[in-house]
Amino acid sequence: TPVEVVQPVLEEVEVVTLLAINPGWTGQKFIPSTRDRIQKAISLISQSGKDILLCVDGGITKENAAEVARMGADIVVSGSAIFDGKDPQGNVKFILNSLRTN
């Protein structure tokens, strides 16, 4: 869905969520074109003059969470990177640490 579809409702929302994978199942890879969509969303939010959070959901990994935050996401949603494997708590700590240090 083009990011521009949110423009008419920006006066009504507190959060814009971008899906960074194709809908359907967990564990998919981050779609690279999401980077451009993040920049477009940031621009639209900025032009609105409202205090709107940007959330990116899907394809968030331990390797890219900090990058997505640096691009401007206020919220990153990760399921597979946390719950895949044997140490969900350790995975959360790793992601939080990478977000804090970057």
d(CA 87, CA 62): 13
> 56: which strand partners?
18, 76
What's the pTM value of the predicted model, to 2 decimals? 0.91
For the cut 90, the answer to whether the pLDDT of residue 11 exceeds it is: yes
The pLDDT tens digits for 47-95 are 999 999 999 999 999 999 999 999 999 999 999 889 988 899 999 999 9
Measuring CA to CA, which residue among 51, 76, 56 is closest to residue 3? 56
By 3-state DSSP, what share of the chain in percent is helix, strand and coil, each rounded to 5? 45, 15, 40
Structure confidence at residue 19 as a pLDDT band (50, 70, 90): very high
Domains of the chain: 3-101 (3.20.20.70)
Please state, rounded to an integer, the average pLDDT across all residues of the chain: 94
